[in-house]
């Protein structure tokens, strides 16, 4: 079994980003100084202020190696535009005497965005302000199964209305809405090529949602949004390169290279769950065979249990109920139940070893509700990942386990919307967009 004191594994099971949202710790990637010279100076200064939460002008000058006069001129423009405001710097006030120290912070009221995660069991939404502070969240359960694009748009509209009401906002006051769905999604084109929650392929989901909501909408694969959540609010803020592997109803992956989310030339890269681990193997929900997801995802575990434990009479039970029962039996010592998780864990180790060999990330975050099932990442499986990874006279990447719920995914969608709105306000064209 997994040992919580294993050297290269850390675990977190609290609510999403406890202690980060709504305080002065800031949000967004903590990009090192001088690493972003190609971006407009006004944008660099603004994003550094937002990432720090609050920062004095002199620190901005040091970080960017520019003159204090330049910082003063640019920040005066940002203040006049209503994007930045002067705030008391409590950290300096604790040590200084006399005149109160002044820092700069992002003006939260400068804009609001929504982040929405759509899935086949629950839809989740959050509202955050321009500084990244959480204002409201809402969740709606639904019956499993695929929906038409039109029905999904209607469900999204209802959810947005509910979460906006909680936040005390009219939906028309939002600057943008970020939406995450599982499957193959081209964010740049706004197309869901395939998603298990949609009844048809090649859905122009972004334009449909934008028309339904009457707002600018940006969409992305939900695993990318978990990665954005970690990059903007979580463990990846200060890391240059890290990977997030999500295990929920399917198996997804997001990758950050040089503080930027990597999507691939067609916007559908990093589909770890659909890399092939067995020729002519188990049937995946994408329609192909031998995908890694078909051995690790929840429906794969239930499929194995139906055969190994003779569960055919329980087919009317929900997947979640069956998984809980399977896990309880494994914990109680049922060898057949344990072998199902162990087999899935070995396949997961194989997939993670491939990630290490391809990208050599500093950290791999295992995320999603299914990470409660610690058989999947038991110590022997992590050791197997290490054994199958190339050696380079240095330790293998660290593994962190974040068993967050759907609120995490919605925060990633909000980060996506916030990023796009920020780029637009500073006149950066979409092709240059970098989270």
Top mean-pLDDT range of 29-38, 47-56, 293-302:
47-56
pLDDT for the residue numbered 374:
73
CA distance 417 to 411: 10
CA distance 60 to 47: 11
Query: Which of the pair, 20 or 409, is modelled with greater confidence?
Result: 409
Q: For residue 374, what is the DSSP state?
A: G
Least Cα distance to 203 among 195, 218, 188, 192 occurs for 192
Instruction: Indicate the average pLDDT of the chain.
Output: 85
Whether 120 is catalytic is no
396 close to 364: Cβ distance less than 8 angstroms: no
pLDDT for the residue numbered 114:
98
Question: Pick the catalytic residue: 63, 89, 120, 222?
Answer: 222
Mean pLDDT to the nearest integer, 151-166: 96
Would you say how long the chain is, in residues? 435
The per-residue b/e assignment along 244-253, b for 16 or more CB within 10 angstroms, e otherwise, is bbbbbbbbbb
| pLDDT at residue 367 tops 60 | yes
> Nearest 5°: phi and psi at 280?
55, 40
**Coil/strand/helix, residue 77:** helix
Vertex 222 angle, CA 217 and 228, to 5°: 85
- Locate all alpha helices (DSSP H) within 32-142, ordered by sequence: 41-52, 57-64, 68-80, 90-93
pLDDT for the residue numbered 88:
79
Query: What's the pLDDT band for 24 if we cut at 50, 70, 90?
Result: very low
At 240-277, the pLDDT tens digits run 999 999 887 788 899 999 888 998 887 777 889 999 99
- In the chain, the domains with their CATH numbers are 19-109 (1.10.10.10), 111-228+407-432 (3.30.420.40), 238-405 (3.30.420.40)
> Nearest 5°: phi and psi at 387?
-65, -30
């Amino acid at each position: 079994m997994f040992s919580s004191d294993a050297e290269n594994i850390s675990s977190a099971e609290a609510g999403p980003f406890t202690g980060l949202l709504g305080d002065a710790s800031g949000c967004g990637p903590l990009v090192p100084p001088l690493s972003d010279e190609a971006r407009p100076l006004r944008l660099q200064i603004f994003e550094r202020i937002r990432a720090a939460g609050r920062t004095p002008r002199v620190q901005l000058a040091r970080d960017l190696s520019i003159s204090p006069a330049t910082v003063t001129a640019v920040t005066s423009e940002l203040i006049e535009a209503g994007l930045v405001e002067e705030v008391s710097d409590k950290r300096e006030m604790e040590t200084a005497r006399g005149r109160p120290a002044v820092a700069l912070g992002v003006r939260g009221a400068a804009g609001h965005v929504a982040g929405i995660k759509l899935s086949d069991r629950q839809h989740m939404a959050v509202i955050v302000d321009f500084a990244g502070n959480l204002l409201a969240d809402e969740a709606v359960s639904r019956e499993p199964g695929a929906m038409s694009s039109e029905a999904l748009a209607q469900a999204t509209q209802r959810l947005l209305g509910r979460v906006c009401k909680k936040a005390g906002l009219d939906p028309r006051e939002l600057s943008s809405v970020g939406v995450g769905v599982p499957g193959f999604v081209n964010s740049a084109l706004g197309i869901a090529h395939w998603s298990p929650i949609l009844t048809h392929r090649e859905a122009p989901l972004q334009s449909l949602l934008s028309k339904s909501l009457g707002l600018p909408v940006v969409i992305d694969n939900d695993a990318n949004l978990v990665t954005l959540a970690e990059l903007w609010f979580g463990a990846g803020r200060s890391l240059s390169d890290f990977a997030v592997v999500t295990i929920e109803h399917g198996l997804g992956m997001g990758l950050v290279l040089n503080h930027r989310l990597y999507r691939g030339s067609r916007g559908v890269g990093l589909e770890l769950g659909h890399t092939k681990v067995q020729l002519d193997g188990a049937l995946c929900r994408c329609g192909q065979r031998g995908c890694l997801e078909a051995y690790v995802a929840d429906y794969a575990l239930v499929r194995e249990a139906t055969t190994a434990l003779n569960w055919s009479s329980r087919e009317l039970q929900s997947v979640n109920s069956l998984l809980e029962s399977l896990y309880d039996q494994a914990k109680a010592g049922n060898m057949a139940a344990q072998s199902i998780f162990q087999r899935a864990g070995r396949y997961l180790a194989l997939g993670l070893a491939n990630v290490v060999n391809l990208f050599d990330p500093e950290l791999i975050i295992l995320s999603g509700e299914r990470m409660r099932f610690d058989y999947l990442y038991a110590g022997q499986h992590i050791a197997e990942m290490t054994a199958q990874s190339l050696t380079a006279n240095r330790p293998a990447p660290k593994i962190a386990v974040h068993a967050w719920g759907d609120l995490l995914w919605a925060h990633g969608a909000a980060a996506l919307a916030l990023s796009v709105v920020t780029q637009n306000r500073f006149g950066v064209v979409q092709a240059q967009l970098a989270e």
